[in-house]
């Protein structure tokens, strides 16, 4: 409340207060310099922390004092948490551009969608329209959509931008190496994971390039107002944004791989400070957090396929089980996939190169055999053609 006769200018996104349910207000007068209000007795039940707070996860090992400090920290920063998809953030000062080698539009027909999924697709499109993520389009560009089921059973609408990406001039901005990121966690004891709400959709598309994102469906043509998944340079744009947002905290108290953020500290008090700094930066940048994907003040977390604890880093047990249950490779493609998956954890395997050498040799031998067969077929076909001419 401004009780002066002068205008007061606030910085953009300055929190003006926190609304909470009162527990008890007695009869009486609330008086001020320019107002007088009669208040009757109001009694309400103040919901418990679990009922009122956003659905994040706190470590059960916290002491009562630590737990209260953690709750207070979250409650002071609830303005950066998004409770639903219509509360998308908007990254300040950042747009995604699509620079192409020419201006010839990419145009493809839409792919068939089973009638049983029509209503679900239309509802998904409606939500994207309502949230301002997309808009109707008259663009000469058209890329087809691909429907993907998430692990929770909900639908994800993806766009196949492969042809557009072939014409896109690639951004060279680096994505962090996972092994380097993991090395930064040595000696830390407290961890919090933060996931942004539809992180890419919090970045605006450059107005001049929106028409290039156009996608075709049986129900019309649409284009993105916000940066979609599938664009070849989207990871670079997002990583550049996050490193600009959290630049001085990288590798000292924060790791950020695209929209997966890990805050780490050596003590509980340091973690309070580090989290507040991250919250402040996200607020300044205009980004919103998805609470259901966050865990705070943990002694053990999963991050980028690893299990991170105060005792060190080890492979995610679920990934180890996936290796144990991996079906026997039937061809070179299957074998390469298996080797690639295992190589991700090679730092945890003694003499990995020696152990994997026979499999790499098998890949090489198989490729040579395939090449020899192709050369033999080519030679035979050439011979037949030459004989037919004589």
Same domain, 163 and 301: yes
Domain presence at residue 17: no
pLDDT of residue 215: 95
Same domain, 169 and 90: yes
> pLDDT under 50 in the chain at which residues?
18, 20-54, 371-390
Please tell me the number of Cα atoms within 13 Å of 334 on its side-chain side.
7
Domain presence at residue 59: no
The residues that bridge with 217 in the sheet, in sequence order, are 220
Same domain, 93 and 129: yes
Q: Is the dihedral of CA 269, 270, 272, 276 positive or negative?
A: positive
Q: At how many degrees (to 10) do helices 332-343 and 352-389 cross?
A: 150
Number of domains making up the chain: 2
Domain presence at residue 249: yes
- Closest to 59 (Cα-Cα) out of 295, 269, 262: 295
pLDDT of residue 44: 38
Domain presence at residue 27: no
pTM attached to this predicted model: 0.72
Q: Are 196 and 65 in contact (CB under 8 A)?
A: no
pLDDT of residue 233: 94
pLDDT of residue 213: 96
pLDDT of residue 2: 61
pLDDT of residue 164: 96
Percent of the chain residues past pLDDT 70, beyond the cut: 77
pLDDT of residue 381: 40
pLDDT of residue 46: 33
Domain presence at residue 311: yes
Same domain, 99 and 202: yes
- Closest to 62 (Cα-Cα) out of 277, 274, 292, 295: 295
Q: Are 212 and 227 in contact (CB under 8 A)?
A: no
Same domain, 272 and 152: yes
């Amino acid at each position: 409340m401004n009780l002066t006769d002068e205008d007061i200018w606030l910085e953009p996104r300055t929190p003006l207060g926190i609304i909470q349910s009162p527990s008890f207000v007695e009869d009486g007068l609330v008086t001020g310099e320019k107002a007088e209000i009669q208040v009757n007795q109001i009694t309400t039940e103040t919901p418990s922390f679990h009922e009122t707070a956003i659905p994040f996860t706190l470590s059960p090992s916290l002491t009562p004092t630590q737990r209260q400090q953690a709750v207070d920290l979250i409650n002071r920063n609830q303005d950066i948490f998004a409770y639903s998809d219509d509360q998308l953030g908007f990254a300040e000062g950042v747009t995604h551009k699509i620079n192409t080698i020419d201006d010839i539009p990419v145009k493809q027909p839409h792919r068939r969608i089973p009638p049983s999924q029509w209503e679900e697709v239309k509802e998904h499109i409606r939500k994207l329209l309502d949230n301002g993520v997309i808009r109707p389009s008259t663009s000469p560009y058209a890329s087809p959509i691909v429907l993907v089921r998430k692990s929770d059973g909900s639908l994800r609408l993806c766009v196949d931008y492969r042809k557009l990406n072939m014409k896109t001039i690639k951004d060279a901005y680096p994505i962090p190496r996972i092994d380097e990121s993991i090395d930064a966690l040595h000696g830390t004891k407290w961890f919090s994971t933060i996931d942004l709400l539809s992180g890419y959709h919090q970045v605006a598309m450059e107005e001049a390039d929106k028409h290039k994102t156009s996608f075709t469906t049986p129900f019309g043509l649409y284009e993105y107002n916000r940066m979609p998944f599938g664009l070849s340079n989207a990871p670079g744009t997002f990583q550049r944004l996050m490193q600009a947002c959290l630049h001085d905290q990288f590798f000292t108290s924060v790791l950020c791989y695209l929209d997966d953020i890990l805050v780490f500290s050596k003590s509980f008090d340091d973690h309070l400070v580090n989290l507040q700094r991250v919250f402040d930066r996200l607020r300044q940048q205009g980004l919103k957090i998805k609470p259901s994907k966050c865990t705070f003040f943990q002694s053990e977390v999963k991050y980028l396929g690893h299990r991170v604890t105060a005792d060190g880093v080890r492979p995610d047990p679920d990934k180890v089980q996936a290796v144990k249950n991996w079906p026997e490779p039937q061809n070179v493609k299957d074998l390469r996939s298996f080797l690639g998956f295992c190589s991700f954890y090679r730092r945890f395997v003694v003499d990995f190169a020696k152990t994997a050498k026979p499999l790499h040799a098998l890949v090489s031998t198989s490729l040579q055999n395939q090449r020899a067969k192709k050369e033999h077929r080519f030679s035979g076909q050439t011979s037949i053609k030459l004989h037919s001419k004589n």
